[in-house]
Structure 1
Amino acid sequence: MDFKRVIVLLLLAAFGCRQQDSIISPTYTIFPPQDSARLTLAEKWKAVKTPTPAIIQPIDQGWRYVAGINESLTDFEFPEWEQTEVLDLPHRVTLPNTAMWYQRLVVDPIDSSLLEVNADDGAQVFLNGKKLERLMDDRFYLTATAGDTLTIRVLNNAMAGGLRTVKLLPLANYRDYKNQLALYRKAGAAVNQVLRLSKPSAKAVEAASLLVEHPTIENITRVEALLSAYPVPSDPVLLNNKGRFELNWLSSGNGQATIFAGNDPTNLTTEFIVTAKQQLFRFPLEQLSNASFYRIRQLDTWTEVYEVPKMEQTAGPFSFTLWADSQGGWNTFSKLMSYTNEYDDKFSLGAGDLVANGSDSVQWKSLLTSLGLANGRFPFYLVPGNHDYDGYYDDLKPKNFNRYITTPSGKNYFSWQYSNCAFIALDPNEAFPIGFDASDQKQWLLSEIESPEWKSATWHFVVLHQPPLSQGWPGYHGDEVVRELLDSVYESANIDFVVAGHTHDYERLTRNYGNQQVNFLVVGGAGGGLEPEDDKSEYPVMDRLIRKHHLARMFVHGDSIHLEVKDPDQDIIDQFDFIKQ
């Protein structure tokens, strides 16, 4: 907890009797329960096992494999199979931005079943050349006879990709599993809500304990009824939506919320009504321009008191954070985000793979919850990566990214400026294989680097997910299509930094392009699984390569920038000073 928030809470304690809303403690807390009843409840729920499908038949042997050549998402032909190799799963190979084909004959008849495909990054499935219906995620409905041909086209935008597993599940078993999983998740949400309440009633704890012992719809409904007046909010996240800063927060309930604002944290009297759209609230920050503090109420739920962030740009020194590849590692990522309350950063940029599966809305909610640990104190500029797309490869539209995240342009590529720094964010994932020809990005980039804002800046940053140079994955040297674009403009555009992720480690390299010194940073250690410790490519040889989770910070002092990178234990793993040439 930072110093300013401590002052706020002390003021609330000292003057709590002056205003009704100030004497109401926050309804929910992120701290673990201290009373014995809830500690027992937490241990009981921890012991409950996640449902798994009852009968699964792996199909892991006898697959033919061939790599695709010059294929796009929709423009492709089925390969010739006569001289292809036969292999067993799992199969992965380092072939970024490539289609990979797998085929086998159906040996035994398959009746009304679910085919579950685990592939990097996504898969299309064909039976006798006809595309199968996708039920959800990478699960397909399948009925087949002996001698039919099953073909799977894997589309890899990661570094290594391929077909990990293929499993067959009777459709009736899958429906039972799906119902059990839905019941388990609803029960878990209800129990977690009781555990997080600052002051749960004995009746709610007792009902939740009964629910753990007997997870039925009736018991879930009973707990939900006791908690119906207490929707669970996330902490606010500050994002830029087409040039306007907005506070974003999630709630377990729809409807309306009220923001109470003012300059005295114990006397917040100005009210604003906010309406949720699919449990996501958005509120223009400009409406709080005359306030210093605010808190949110929805039904009987009260948040803590937050400080209103001041968005005036400083002419003096400032700092910001850089990270990428949180990618489902929420415990690590949340820990890193919680440290930002100790910093006085002006913004934070995330260079893609924000989630592990872009099609899963639960992961986007987890992302916003983790970002909320910064308490809306500064804006986030978030760039999509290959995992932030829907993962289906039926189309290439990051639907959930566009639903939960906003950008200064309303597109997946955008620019912004702060003080003497100019930033351009690119997204090559709009095409398969990745590139910049699917939109007007390339022409936009060429126009942007000629803009007065870019030319007048001291420092110039390009941010994107796939790095042009990387050593951290064996056989991968960075993405060629990114190199082709950026190599041609490094010197003319005076690009100082390229910030990326994709490789799950920390890397730093400085190179000269003519008279321009370019610094390459890979900050792909915000939570996703790290690359193997001893594996790396022969080239390019990075100046630093470290396999640890981390959060990077830059301290800008006019013509110099100090870089500091810390691991989750807050130990410095790298630091470097950049001086403007």
Structure 2
Amino acid sequence: MFPILYLLFATVLCNGEFTRPPPGKMILTRHSKSSSYPQQVHISAVGTDHMRVSWITTDKRVPSIVEYGTYSGTYDLTATGEHTSYRYFSYVSGKIHHVNIGPLLPDTVYYYRCGRVGDEFNFKTPPAVVPIEFVVAGDLGQTEWTASTLYHVNQSDYDMLLLPGDLSYADTQQPLWDAFGRFVEPYARKRPWMVTQGNHEVEAFPVLHDLHPFAAYNSRWPMPYQESGSPSNLYNSFNVAAAIHVIMLGSYTDFDSNSAQYNWVVADLAKVDRSKTPWLIVLLHVPWYNTNLAHQGEGESMRKAMEDLLYKARVDVVFSGHVHAYERFMRIYNNKADPCGPMYITIGDGGNREGLALEFEKDHKSAHLSVFHEASFGHGRLKVINGSSAHWSWHRNDDSVSTMRDELWLESLSSSSACKVGSHFVASADHYEL
């Protein structure tokens, strides 16, 4: 079914040039089972050895309980969690369940059942040590091209999916949040999905004070913000496989030097011991560097406010979305090539309903810093091999087998003698050569 769909929407010309696909049609995934049956099931990492299992039921009597174990059909362990719901105009959500389970063994398949109702699901925990593989896919949506992306993602094993904003593209139409949850469930219930918010998650009406921004996002997709000492679900951090620290930033909340987010980032970076956690990865929605005509300059104020922090901390990679295309830059600091700066990668090409951002500016001031760009739907893979080496690749959705169009090997800045990475980040510029 899926390969046929792909061939209908993408064509390779006889000279080998790829024809850019149009936006795909929306896929509305409906719930056809009982009101007590768990739907929109997804998991997310909480700490190094716990998972949060989230799901929704329209039956409000279903308990927030997860039964789980390492053998199919045998649930030796049970955890009880919490539930919430929200109202948006006349829309009232179902009962949204969140249950933390663990401690869990690394690199292990667990079988689980939600609310003592329905089918058994399973997931695999990430390994305790590298190597580990991430999938990175932004601006996902729920279209035919999203189906293509997730189909390709699922063709090989991975440990965790990172999504730098714009999930459902509900845009205030709350039933689309439910459709999205059902659409991604076959994937998100098997591997942890770690997300941050984009502009399509805001859903605010300033004149109506009882409609709080991010109501749906915060209710449905809680991330480990409390565990990371953050005061907001809009920014958080977590460790993966001991060697990697991931920071999720919020492009749509305050970020200046007096903000809660800025102060949290300083404190979070100071906790990272780079001798034990050599890789530092950041995700945010609006790119700080971008040569596409779309969304020009929108990330500039955040870059000016926070770029110094990321540079001083020797962040290895910054992933963003928002621009519906793929673009990879060299290592940069303050609009100049810098071997000790982060590598910036825009990957807002997951399958959104708005289509691709087709035009890149050849004369853009950052064009000489841009190594590769292409306006096509696809996804990326980051495989961290050890404390010093990782492999990045970007895969275009052009037929039933995705095509790798860009790849490179990365060296962690913590392993670079030239970049003078101390064991701990210090906010003062006196400790770094800028």
TM-score by structure 2 length? 0.70
Question: Could you tell me how far 1:466 is from its partner in structure 2?
Answer: 0.8
Question: Could you tell me how far 1:546 is from its partner in structure 2?
Answer: 0.9
Distance between the aligned counterparts of 2:355 and 2:286, measured in 1? Answer: 16
Asked which structure has the greater RCO (Cα within 8 Å, sep 6+), the reply is 2
% identical equivalent positions: 16
Cα 1:468–1:376 change in 2 (3 A) is: same
Q: Find 2:384's aligned residue among 544, 551, 556.
A: 556
Distance between the aligned counterparts of 1:402 and 1:391, measured in 2? Answer: 13
Distance between the aligned counterparts of 2:70 and 2:51, measured in 1? Answer: 20
Distance between the aligned counterparts of 2:356 and 2:188, measured in 1? Answer: 31
Distance between the aligned counterparts of 1:493 and 1:296, measured in 2? Answer: 41
Question: Could you tell me how far 1:532 is from its partner in structure 2?
Answer: 4.3
Give the corresponding residue for 2:121: 306
Q: Find 2:346's aligned residue among 502, 516, 522.
A: 522
Give the corresponding residue for 1:572: 404
Residue by residue, what CA displacement relative to the aligned partner does 1:459-506 show, whole Å, maximum 9, x if unpaired?
221211111101122571452112212432344211111110111111
**2:139 pairs with 1:321:** no
Residue by residue, what CA displacement relative to the aligned partner does 1:161-193 show, whole Å, maximum 9, x if unpaired?
xxxxxxxxxxxxxxxxxxxxxxxxxxx99xx55
1:108-507 paired onto structure 2 within 5 Å: 231-234=36-39, 236-240=41-45, 245-256=51-62, 261-265=68-72, 267-268=73-74, 270=76, 272=78, 277=84, 278-286=94-102, 292-296=110-114, 302-303=118-119, 305-311=120-126, 313-326=127-140, 328-394=141-207, 397-410=213-226, 411=232, 412-418=234-240, 419-431=242-254, 435-436=255-256, 439-453=259-273, 456-473=276-293, 476-477=296-297, 479-507=299-327
Cα 1:521–1:437 change in 2 (3 A) is: same
Cα 1:422–1:232 change in 2 (3 A) is: same
In our comparison, the structure showing a higher alpha carbon Rg is 1
Amino acid at match of 1:317: P
In structure 1, list runs of 5 or more residues that go unmatched. Answer: 1-30, 33-187, 198-228
In structure 2, list runs of 5 or more residues that go unmatched. Answer: 3-27, 85-93, 227-231, 417-434
Cα 1:547–1:453 change in 2 (3 A) is: same
Question: Could you tell me how far 1:291 is from its partner in structure 2?
Answer: 8.5
Distance between the aligned counterparts of 2:270 and 2:66, measured in 1? Answer: 42
Aligned 8 A contact 2:35 2:58 in 1: no
Distance between the aligned counterparts of 2:77 and 2:104, measured in 1? Answer: 10
Distance between the aligned counterparts of 1:407 and 1:291, measured in 2? Answer: 22
Amino acid at match of 1:316: V
Aligned 8 A contact 1:506 1:521 in 2: yes
Distance between the aligned counterparts of 2:363 and 2:343, measured in 1? Answer: 20
Question: Could you tell me how far 1:345 is from its partner in structure 2?
Answer: 2.2
Distance between the aligned counterparts of 2:83 and 2:199, measured in 1? Answer: 29
Distance between the aligned counterparts of 1:446 and 1:273, measured in 2? Answer: 34
Cα 1:353–1:475 change in 2 (3 A) is: closer
Question: Could you tell me how far 1:231 is from its partner in structure 2?
Answer: 4.6
Aligned 8 A contact 2:257 2:263 in 1: no
Question: Could you tell me how far 1:337 is from its partner in structure 2?
Answer: 2.9
Cα 1:284–1:488 change in 2 (3 A) is: closer
Cα 1:390–1:424 change in 2 (3 A) is: same
Give the corresponding residue for 1:73: none
Aligned 8 A contact 2:294 2:357 in 1: no
Question: Could you tell me how far 1:366 is from its partner in structure 2?
Answer: 2.8
Distance between the aligned counterparts of 2:296 and 2:142, measured in 1? Answer: 23
Aligned 8 A contact 1:383 1:425 in 2: yes
Kindly report the root-mean-square deviation, in angstroms, between the aligned alpha carbons of the 2 structures: 3.3
Distance between the aligned counterparts of 1:487 and 1:249, measured in 2? Answer: 37
Aligned 8 A contact 2:132 2:383 in 1: yes
TM-score by structure 1 length? 0.54
Partner SS for 2:312: coil
